[in-house]
Amino acid sequence: MARNDGPKVLIIVENLTVPLDRRVWQEAQSLREAGYTVSVICPKGGKYTAAYELLDGVHVFRHPLPLEAEGAAGYAIEYASAIFWEFVLSVRAYCKVGFDVVQACNPPDLIFTVGAFWKYLFGKPFVFDHHDINPELFEAKFGKRGFFHSLLGVFEKITFKVADVSIATNETFKEIAVRRGGMDPNRVFVVRSIPDVSRFRRMEPLPELRKGRRALVGYVGIMGAQDGVDLLVDAMEDLVVAKGRRDVQCAIVGSGTELARLQVMAEEKGLADFITFTGFLSGDELMRTLSTFDVGVIPDPKNTYNDKISMNKVFEYMSLGIPFVGFDLIEGRKMAGDAALYALNNDPKELADRLERLVDNTKLRDALAYEGRLRAKSLLRWDEECGRLLQAFDVALAGTAPVRVPVPHTDALPEVS
């Protein structure tokens, strides 16, 4: 095992590789800069396929994923494979680097199995970084509850039971940790997914994305069944076909299980020339694309899941001064306030109306962009979130690990998603 005088943390994330998972990578960098030795276990993805690498001072251990899960059997195979590799790589990380605490980032709510092994057999505290509320996500995705919804609730409860400390992305998640998870409120810390503006900034735009049209509206994110990107395609149909707006181009950035269906949908609606699917982007290419948006879109429909989550897109749009349109979600409005226009009733025609209003009103766009930047500057500060992150680990490690000593800050720009 490698030796180091400061505390050591092992972060496990299953949903996305690093450095492409912005929140996880930002946390890893902040912990490293605070004097921690940081290791991350994650899946391979994109160009990041090395089984091990030391990346910007962080030890990264990657495992393969067997398939794109479909159905209960597919998810069972995927999660079993991931848990197997996470256990194997945790042993490898312990032998190669060592760690004093394990942080698990959901989904899924199964990584507690690895955390419990190290906690109950070796005394390593377990920190749960609560990214998703999976029971609500299941209901939003499949439109029902039933056995699997109840099972997800059980996994969530066990995860909170094992956790010494929980990190919540907003106050609603903290309430869930206390009310549903039975956690002590003093051991739940809110760390919002706010971009570090020193690493997340506007760049030279890509005018070719407009395809010669006056305005570019854009979406960036995952394309799953619950993400509402089909509502954006419907809104573009209303703009282009019903309203005859041939001066508006749309860029949809990202990937996901619904991408192929959305591309077919755009083709069938006669929108192939008006909607560009860029695929997954990261780093400078992502930042230049975002910097080209005149109007951002958050088409996630209103439901019990989306009302409770804090979406990275809200923080990112406001930090970059991108005015945006979305449905009237509870947490979304708390974060954005007057920096956005809101549509009602999950209605794509209302979404189209709000988009058209922003496209045609430069002064309104500028006002929303100003409000967004102002809120980002005054309310959304990563240095404050980072302070709560470090506080969470201080509580988890109290009396069990060496004192951390901050190391010099690096200006290396990580790739983001």
Kindly state the percentage of the chain with pLDDT values over 90.
68
Q: How confident is the model at residue 336 (pLDDT cuts 50, 70, 90)?
A: very high
Tell me what the mean pLDDT of segment 68-79 comes to. 66
Structure confidence at residue 412 as a pLDDT band (50, 70, 90): very low
Per-residue pLDDT at 399: 56
The predicted-structure confidence for 191-222, as pLDDT tens digits, reads as follows: 998 877 767 788 999 999 999 999 999 999 98
Output helix, strand, coil percentages for the chain, rounded to the nearest 5: 45, 15, 40
**pLDDT > 70 in the chain, percent:** 91
Task: Average the pLDDT over 115-126 and give the result.
Answer: 97
411 or 184, greater pLDDT: 184
- Both tokens of residue 129? 């970084």
Q: Do the beta carbons of residue 164 and residue 401 sit within 8 Å?
A: no
Q: Is 100 helix (H, G, I), strand (E, B) or coil?
A: coil
60 pLDDT higher than 90: yes
Annotate 234-266 with DSSP letters as a single string.
HHHHIIIIIS--TTEEEEEE---TTHHHHHHHH
Q: What is the pTM of this model?
A: 0.84
Q: What's the whole-number average pLDDT of the chain?
A: 89
Structure tokens at 314: 């809200």
pLDDT tens, position by position, 229-239: 999 999 999 99
Tokens of 65: 């994923």
The correct answer on CATH 3.40.50.2000 for the domain covering 207-377 is: yes
Statement: residue 409 has pLDDT above 60: no
359 has a pLDDT exceeding 50: yes
Query: Residue 202 to residues 216, 254, 293, 378: CA-CA distances in angstroms?
Result: 16, 19, 11, 18
Q: Which class for 363: exposed (0-12), middle (13-18), buried (19 or more C-beta within 10 A)?
A: exposed
Closest among 100, 89, 154, 88 to 127, alpha carbons compared: 100
List the chain domain ranges. Answer: 8-194+381-397, 207-377
Q: Higher pLDDT residue, 371 or 6?
A: 371
Q: What is the largest CA-CA distance in the chain?
A: 67
Position 140 scores a pLDDT of 79
pLDDT at 68: 57
Segment 233-257 mean pLDDT:
95
Separation of alpha carbons 391 and 380, rounded Å = 18
Give the model confidence (pLDDT) of 174-186 as tens digits: 999 999 999 999 9
Question: Which pLDDT band holds residue 410 (cuts at 50, 70, 90)?
Answer: very low
Residue length of the chain: 417
343 Cβ neighbours under 8 A, 6+ residues apart? 325, 326, 327, 328, 350, 351, 353, 354
How large is the average pLDDT for residues 8-36? 93
Confidence band, pLDDT 50/70/90 cuts, at residue 66: low
Residue 121 in this model has a pLDDT that exceeds 70: yes
- CA 201/CA 291 separation, integer angstroms: 9
| Mean pLDDT (whole number) for 78-87 | 87
Tell me the residue type at 397: L
Q: Is 207-377 the same fold as 8-194+381-397?
A: yes
Whole-angstrom distance, CA of residue 368 vs CA of residue 340: 6
The Cα–Cα gap between 248 and 294 comes to 10
Query: How many CB atoms are located within 10 Å of the residue 107 CB?
Result: 17
Q: Which fold has domain 8-194+381-397?
A: Rossmann fold (3.40.50)
Q: Is the pLDDT of residue 337 over 50?
A: yes
Poorest-pLDDT segment among 147-156, 170-179, 198-207, 329-338? 198-207
